[in-house]
């Protein structure tokens, strides 16, 4: 598909509305590329349903697809509906979460399953406001489920989409560390008017950021909108905003929390303090990590210095 080259936008110009030439060109090119290049992922298949989409969105937050796939498949096999998960203790969700990281997501997903079962008869609600009212669901997840599961028109702003819009439309290498009101306005302005097209655009722009317009080593030679990308046409200026947050793990409290949880996931009976003490050599950091797990509801302390995954 070929379209005439259009002038790029800079960060000082107002973004095009959905019906204007640049917006329509971006929609057409990115969706066409997606039709030919989208990965065959289980949560994109028709039989995944809204619950499958919701589970995937919880798991994919800050976690690559390759790590999510095996856990996702095991999860849906064990809990094919929200009511199936709601019947289990929350600690079972934490156990099944395995090493996906950020295990509070497992508790939040369990809480959402309970609410879906109690408030919506076990079916993931269709309305954006009802999704947003579920525990553990924020603006992004509500928009993603409404869009990907129900084909609705919502701006879905994950890290990949934000990076695509930052480069293609505003001409900067990276978006701000936290989503801004200006980014939300831009995403809404660029959203196609037609709901099915808007839902397809959301998925397509996300996939483009994941596979082509990546944070490092972007593949502009494979990008369907390279000819219209403001950042590329400006010569790819280096990021000059606040330093981008790097993710460290080794030696952090997060690593210690993971080691403590690994012991508790493997145990099906309460674990004594002495066993947990073996996982990390530094007692102050170890105690801080364990206290944090208890405060987050991920670990339940018992009399006699015993610990287990939460039952309630």
| 57 is a catalytic site residue | yes
Which position among 24, 57, 88, 92 bears the catalytic label?
A: 57
CA–CA gap between residue 101 and residue 247 (Å, rounded): 13
| Whole-angstrom distance, CA of residue 73 vs CA of residue 51 | 13
CA dihedral 210, 125, 52, 60 (to 10 degrees): 30
Among 117, 74, 121, 70, smallest CA distance to 93 is for 74
Q: Please, where are the H alpha helices in the chain?
A: 21-37, 49-60, 65-78, 82-86, 90-97, 104-119, 128-132, 139-150, 159-165, 181-190, 195-211, 230-233, 253-266, 273-277, 283-295
**How far is 290 from 242, CA to CA, in rounded Å?**
33
Whose tokens are 């204007």? That residue is: 20
- 271 — phi, psi (to 5°)? -110, 130
Catalytic residue numbers read 57
């Amino acid at each position: 598909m070929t379209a005439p080259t259009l002038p790029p936008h800079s960060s000082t110009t107002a973004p095009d509305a959905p019906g204007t030439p640049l917006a329509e060109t971006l929609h057409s090119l990115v969706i066409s590329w997606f039709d030919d290049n989208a990965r065959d992922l289980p949560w994109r298949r028709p039989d995944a349903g809204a619950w499958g989409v919701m589970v995937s969105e919880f798991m994919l937050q800050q976690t690559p697809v390759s790590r999510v796939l095996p856990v996702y498949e095991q999860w849906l096999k064990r809990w094919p509906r929200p009511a199936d998960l709601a019947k289990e203790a929350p600690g079972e969700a934490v156990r099944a979460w395995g090493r996906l990281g950020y295990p509070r997501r497992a508790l939040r997903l369990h809480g959402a399953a309970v609410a879906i079962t109690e408030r919506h008869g076990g079916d993931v609600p269709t309305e954006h406001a009802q999704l947003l009212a579920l525990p553990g669901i924020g603006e992004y997840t509500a928009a993603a489920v409404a869009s990907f599961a129900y084909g609705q028109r919502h701006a879905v702003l994950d890290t990949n989409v934000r990076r695509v819009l930052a480069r293609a439309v505003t001409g900067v290498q990276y978006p701000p560390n936290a989503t801004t009101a200006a980014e939300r306005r831009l995403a809404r302005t660029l959203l196609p008017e037609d709901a099915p097209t808007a839902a397809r655009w959301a998925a397509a722009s996300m996939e483009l950021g994941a596979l082509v317009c990546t944070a490092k080593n972007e593949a502009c030679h494979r990008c369907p909108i390279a000819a219209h990308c403001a950042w590329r046409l400006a010569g790819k200026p280096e990021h000059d905003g606040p330093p981008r947050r790097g993710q460290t793990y080794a030696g952090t409290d997060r690593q210690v929390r993971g080691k403590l949880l690994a012991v508790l996931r493997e145990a099906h009976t309460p674990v004594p303090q002495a066993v947990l003490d073996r996982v990390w050599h530094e007692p102050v950091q170890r105690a801080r990590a364990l206290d944090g797990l208890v405060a987050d509801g991920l670990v339940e302390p018992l009399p006699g210095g015993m610990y287990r995954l939460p039952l309630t």
